[in-house]
Amino acid sequence: MKNVVTVKEQLTSGTNRRSFLKISGLTMAATGLILTGCSDDDDRGTTPQDNQLPGVRNGKFDLGGGDFGVLTYAYALEQLEADFYTRVVNLNNFGTLFNSTEQQVLTDLYRHEVIHREFFKTALTGALPNPSAQLLPNLEFDFSTVNFGSRDSILGTAQALEDTGVGAYNGAGRLITSADYLLLAGKIVSVEARHASAIRSLINPNSNSFAGDDIVAAGNGLDTAKTPAQILPVAGTFIATDFTAIYLT
C-alpha cells in the first residue's frame, strides 16, 4: 500500500506561505495519510530496490523505501529537530526566557540534534549509490504556530518533537533490515527519549511526567511506536517543503 504525503506546496512568498499552510497544508497531509492508512502489522522492511531509492518522483522528493528510505525519513526528522533548536538557542531573548538549567538543556539538545542531522547527511551521502540525486535536500520549515516569545510554547513544541521522535524511531525499527543501521537508530532513539524526559521535567517538575501515563502506557509500560504514516502528518505541520513517502511502509 502506498502513502502519499502532501505536506504543502512550496511558495516563494513568505507572507502567503502561512495562510496557505493553514488552509491546506496540515489537513491535506493528515487526510491523505489517514485515508490510505497503511497497516504494518506484518510488514518488514524490504530489501532496497533501485526503484525505491530516495529521489525526485513526479516533481517531488520521495523518501524512498527499504533501509535508505528509513534513514532518509530519520534524516528529515533530525533536520526538523535541529532547525527548531537552532532557532531557539539563537533567539535574542534566549537568556531571559529561560533559566540557566533550561538554557543548558536546550543548548545540549541543539547540539545533539545538529550532530544527528549531520551524521545522517554524511552516512547517507556515503551509502547512497548516487547521493547527488538521492540525498534528501535541506528542508524548509515553518514554525509559525510556535510563539517564540513564550517559554511554554517553545518547551511544548520541544516536547512534541522529542516524543514524536521517540515514537518514530520505535515504529521504524522493524522496517530496517541491516543490523548495523538498526543499532545506529537505537543509539539515537534512547537519546531522544532522554531529551523527551528532560523537557517534560522542565515543563512539569516534581511530577512523573518524564515518563507520564500520557506517553508510556500505564497498562504495559510501553512507550509509543508509530508508523511513518502516523508521524509524517504531525511532523509535517512544521515542514514547508513538499515531499512524499510512497514506499515507506
Helix, strand, coil fractions of the chain, as percent rounded to 5: 60, 5, 35
List of residues contacting another protein (CB under 8 A): 43-44, 104-105, 108, 111-112, 114-116, 118-119, 122-123, 126, 166, 169-171, 173-174, 176-177, 179-180, 182-184, 186-198, 201, 205-208, 210-212, 216, 218-225
CB 98, min distance to another protein, A: 16
Q: Which is nearer to another protein, 19 or 213 (CB)?
A: 213
| Least CB distance to another protein at residue 127 (A) | 9
Task: Decide: 229 and 165 in contact? Cβ < 8 Å.
Answer: no
Q: What is the DSSP string of 151-165?
A: HHHHHHHHHHHHHHH
Tell me how far, at minimum, the Cβ of 117 lies from another protein, in Å. Answer: 10
CB closer to another protein out of 8 and 112: 112
Residue 130 gets which letter from DSSP? S
For 76, how many CA atoms within 13 A lie in the half-sphere containing its CB?
33
Question: For another protein, which is the closer residue by CB, 26 or 193?
Answer: 193
> In the complex with another protein, which residue's Cβ is closer, 30 or 173?
173
- Which residues are 62's β-sheet partners? 55, 244
**Amino acid present at 130:** N
Rounded CA-CA distance 83/169 in Å is: 19
Q: How far is the CB of 206 from another protein (least distance, A)?
A: 4
